Amino acid sequence: MSYIELTDITKSYHAGKNILEKINFTIEKGEFFVLVGPSGSGKSTLLRMIAGLENVTDGILKMNQKIVNHLPPKDRNLSMVFQNYALYPHLSVEQNILFGLQAKKVSKKEQKKRLKETAEMMGLSDFLDRKPRQLSGGQRQRVALARAVVSEAPLCLMDEPLSNLDAKLRAQMRVEIRRLQKQLGLTLIYVTHDQVEAMTMGDRIMVLNDGEIQQVGKPITLYNEPANLFVASFIGSPKMNIGKAEVKNTSCFLINNTLSFPVGPILQEALKEHKDIVVGIRPEHIQPTTHHEATHSLEVVNVEQLGNETTLAFDVDGELWTAKWPGQWDIMAGHQLKVYISEEHLSFFDAQTKQLVRPASFNSQEEVQAI
pLDDT in tens, 135-150: 998 899 889 999 999 9
Out of 92-101, 176-185, 257-266, 361-370, pick the least confident: 361-370
From the list 48, 94, 54, the residue with the least C-alpha distance to 70 is: 54
User: Strands, DSSP E only, in 55-186?
Assistant: 58-63, 66-67, 78-81, 155-159
- Which CATH architecture is the domain 4-229 placed in? 3-Layer(aba) Sandwich (3.40)
Assign 141 to helix, strand or coil. helix
Per-residue model confidence (pLDDT) at position 16: 72
Cα 123 to its chain centre, rounded Å, is: 27
pLDDT tens for 329-351 read: 999 999 999 999 998 899 999 99
Q: What is the mean pLDDT of residues 141-161?
A: 92
The residues, ordered by sequence, that sit 6+ positions from 114 with a Cβ below 8 Å of its Cβ are 101, 106, 150, 152
Question: Rounded to whole angstroms, how far apart are CA atoms 1 and 131?
Answer: 43
Which residue intervals of the chain bear CATH 3.40.50.300?
Answer: 4-229
Q: Is a pLDDT exceeding 60 seen at residue 365?
A: no
Q: Is a pLDDT exceeding 70 seen at residue 105?
A: yes
Cα end-to-end span (Å), the chain: 31
The residues, ordered by sequence, that sit 6+ positions from 371 with a Cβ below 8 Å of its Cβ are none
Assign 17 to helix, strand or coil. coil
Q: What is the average pLDDT value for the chain, to the nearest integer?
A: 90
From the list 158, 112, 159, 168, the residue with the least C-alpha distance to 138 is: 168
Which residue intervals of the chain bear CATH 2.40.50.140?
Answer: 238-284+294-361
Question: Rounded to whole angstroms, how far apart are CA atoms 68 and 72?
Answer: 8
- The percent of residues in the chain predicted with pLDDT above 70, rounded, is 96
Q: What is the mean pLDDT of residues 262-274?
A: 73
Per-residue model confidence (pLDDT) at position 164: 81
From the list 268, 301, 52, the residue with the least C-alpha distance to 157 is: 52
Give the residues across from 157 on adjacent strands. Answer: 80, 189
Question: Rounded to whole angstroms, how far apart are CA atoms 269 and 274?
Answer: 9
Question: Rounded to whole angstroms, how far apart are CA atoms 200 and 143?
Answer: 23
Q: What is the mean pLDDT of residues 186-215?
A: 95
Q: What is the mean pLDDT of residues 230-253?
A: 88
Out of 21-35, 141-155, 193-207, 350-364, pick the least confident: 350-364
Give the residues across from 142 on adjacent strands. Answer: none
Of 71 and 82, more confident: 71
Q: What is the mean pLDDT of residues 17-25?
A: 92
- Rg, Å, the chain Cα set: 24
Neighbouring C-beta atoms of residue 35, cutoff 10 Å: 28
The residues, ordered by sequence, that sit 6+ positions from 362 with a Cβ below 8 Å of its Cβ are 285, 342, 344, 345
DSSP 203: S
- Which CATH architecture is the domain 238-284+294-361 placed in? Beta Barrel (2.40)
Out of 95-104, 216-225, 264-273, pick the least confident: 264-273
The residues, ordered by sequence, that sit 6+ positions from 85 with a Cβ below 8 Å of its Cβ are 132, 140, 141, 143, 144, 164
Question: Rounded to whole angstroms, how far apart are CA atoms 72 and 79?
Answer: 13
Q: Is a pLDDT exceeding 70 seen at residue 157?
A: yes
Q: Is a pLDDT exceeding 60 seen at residue 118?
A: yes
